[in-house]
Copies of this chain bind each other. A is one copy, B any other.
C-alpha cells in the first residue's frame, strides 16, 4: 500500500522525539540493568540522598503510587533501602546502598543523550530551541488540569 502520511502534529513530533530520547537513554543504561524510570529515581538520590517518597515524587513527576512499586524493585536489586522517619512515622526516607552509590557515574547519562539529540543543530539553533520549548512547556502547564 501507499504509506499513509501524517498530519503536521506538534504532539506527534514531540512524542516521537521523546520516545527516541528515551530509547537512547535505555540503550545507554541497558548494560547496567536499570530502567530509565529507575535511573530517574536514582539520579535524584545521587544528588541528595535520603529524600522521602513525596520528595521523590515532586522531583520525578511520578505519582507516589508509581514510586512505591519502583522502590520495591530498587530494593530487590539492593540499590536503595527504605528507612523509617522518627518525627513522622507515615513518612519514609530513601537511602542509596553502597551498590546504588556505586552507579553514581551514571548521573551524567543525560549528557550523552543531549549530545546525540543536539548533534545536528548549530549552537545558534540550540540557543533558540531551549527557550522556545521551555516557553511552550510553561504555557501548557499553565493550562493543564494538573495544577
Query: Contact at A11–B136, with CB atoms within 8 Å?
Result: no
Interface presence of A23 (CB below 8 A) = yes
Rounded to whole angstroms, the CA-CA distance of A47 and B116 in the bound complex is 34
Query: Contact at B4–A10, with CB atoms within 8 Å?
Result: no
* Interface 9-residue window, one of A66-74, A84-92, A97-105, A139-147: A139-147
Which A residues contact B (CB, under 8 angstroms)?
1, 3-4, 7-25, 27, 44, 47-48, 51, 55, 58-59, 61, 110, 113-114, 116-121, 125, 128-130, 132-141, 143-146
Extra contacts, 4 of them, besides A121-B135, A121-B136 (Cβ < 8 A), are: A10-B114, A16-B137, A17-B133, A20-B140
